């Protein structure tokens, strides 16, 4: 009996430890500074992040900025369904506070205190500034409300055990910069911010390890296509990547969709390029400068 009690106590202690390690952890209202949002900058962040690329309503007659979601993302972990992030109070984020939004974008935690799956790229958005997040939320609140219902994910075991995301976050959720740069080069620093943060370029262009976390040692060196067909290209300044592209070539590609050899953008990059074309020219120049100054990887 004594051995059974000891064993039961150890099991209980292990369960409590696991629950503590995997619990969703968010910020409180006291953690947020006072700030007056700038919706025009929020619009800039909206296009930098390409929010409509995934969250646009899937109905054929939907408005371009109707963010009712519905897109099915097929991955090795199962099928993720992109949610409604329109200002609809019932199905979207119309009732979210700024705190709710920041916790989702920085911590991957829902207003109800649940983990979001990292198919929502908060691992990148966690590098965004509070001010840009507040501005983005203010802009999202001005877009059309869409009443479309959200659809549950359909994931394989063990990925369908949501508390396990807490362990994933302890390994993979890191808001530090991936690439170290000179502190005085404002153009490169802006490019790093846009690529590593709101642009979340690494989410597709960087290969992942067995946990689904980005392998920062292979940053932007190309990866399998999340859709299962072909590969996402290397965009480091390597011979197999962008070595033959100048900063002007990259900037022109992002604004026009044309490569230096007069090919055109294709696949899922079409929507990304269309969003990048809506950014100020100085942002595209910063992205181009960053991509030409990161380590070249084969």
**77-116 as b/e: b if 16+ CB within 10 A:** bbebebbbbbbbeebbbeebebbbbbbbbbbbbbeeeebb
Backbone phi and psi for residue 139, each to the nearest 5 degrees, phi listed first: -70, -45
Q: Look at residue 17 and tell me whether its pLDDT is greater than 60.
A: no
Please name the helix (run of DSSP H) or strand (run of DSSP E) that holds residue 117, with its range, or none: none
Pairing of strands 72-75, 78-81: antiparallel
pTM: 0.90
The backbone region for 150, taken as left when phi is positive above 0, alpha when psi lies in -120 to 50, beta otherwise, is: beta
Q: What is the mean pLDDT of residues 209-225?
A: 92
pLDDT band of residue 18 (cuts 50, 70, 90) is low
In contact, 242 and 297? CB cutoff 8 Å: no
Class of CATH domain 186-291: mainly alpha
Interval 102-135: pLDDT, tens = 999 999 999 999 999 999 999 999 999 999 999 9
Q: What is the mean pLDDT of residues 9-14?
A: 53
**Distance from C-alpha of 235 to C-alpha of 220, rounded to nearest angstrom:** 6
pLDDT of residue 62: 55
């Amino acid at each position: 009996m004594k051995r059974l009690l000891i064993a039961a106590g150890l099991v209980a202690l292990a369960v409590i430890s696991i629950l503590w390690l995997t619990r969703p952890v968010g910020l409180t209202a006291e953690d947020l500074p006072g700030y007056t949002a700038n919706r025009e900058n929020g619009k800039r962040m909206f296009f930098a992040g390409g929010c409509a690329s995934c969250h646009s309503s899937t109905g054929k007659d939907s408005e371009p900025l109707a963010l009712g979601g519905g897109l099915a993302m097929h991955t090795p972990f199962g099928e993720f369904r992109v949610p409604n992030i329109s200002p609809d109070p019932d199905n979207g984020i119309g009732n979210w506070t700024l705190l709710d939004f920041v916790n989702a974008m920085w911590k991957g935690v829902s207003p109800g205190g649940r983990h979001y799956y990292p198919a929502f790229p908060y691992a990148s958005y966690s590098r965004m500034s509070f001010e840009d997040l507040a501005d983005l939320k203010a802009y999202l609140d001005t877009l059309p409300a869409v009443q479309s219902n959200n659809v549950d994910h359909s994931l394989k075991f063990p990925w369908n055990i949501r508390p396990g995301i807490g362990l994933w976050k302890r390994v993979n959720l890191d808001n530090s910069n991936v690439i170290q740069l000179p502190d005085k080069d404002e153009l490169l620093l802006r490019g790093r911010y846009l690529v590593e943060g709101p642009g979340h370029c690494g989410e597709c262009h960087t290969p992942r390890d067995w946990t689904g976390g980005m392998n920062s040692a292979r940053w932007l060196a190309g990866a399998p296509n999340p859709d299962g067909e072909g590969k996402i290209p290397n965009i480091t300044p390597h011979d197999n990547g962008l070595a033959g592209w100048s900063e002007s070539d990259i900037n022109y590609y992002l604004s026009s969709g044309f490569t230096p050899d007069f090919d055109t953008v294709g696949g899922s990059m079409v929507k990304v390029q269309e969003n990048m074309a809506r950014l100020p020219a100085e942002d595209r120049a910063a992205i181009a400068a960053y991509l030409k100054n990161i380590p070249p990887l084969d």
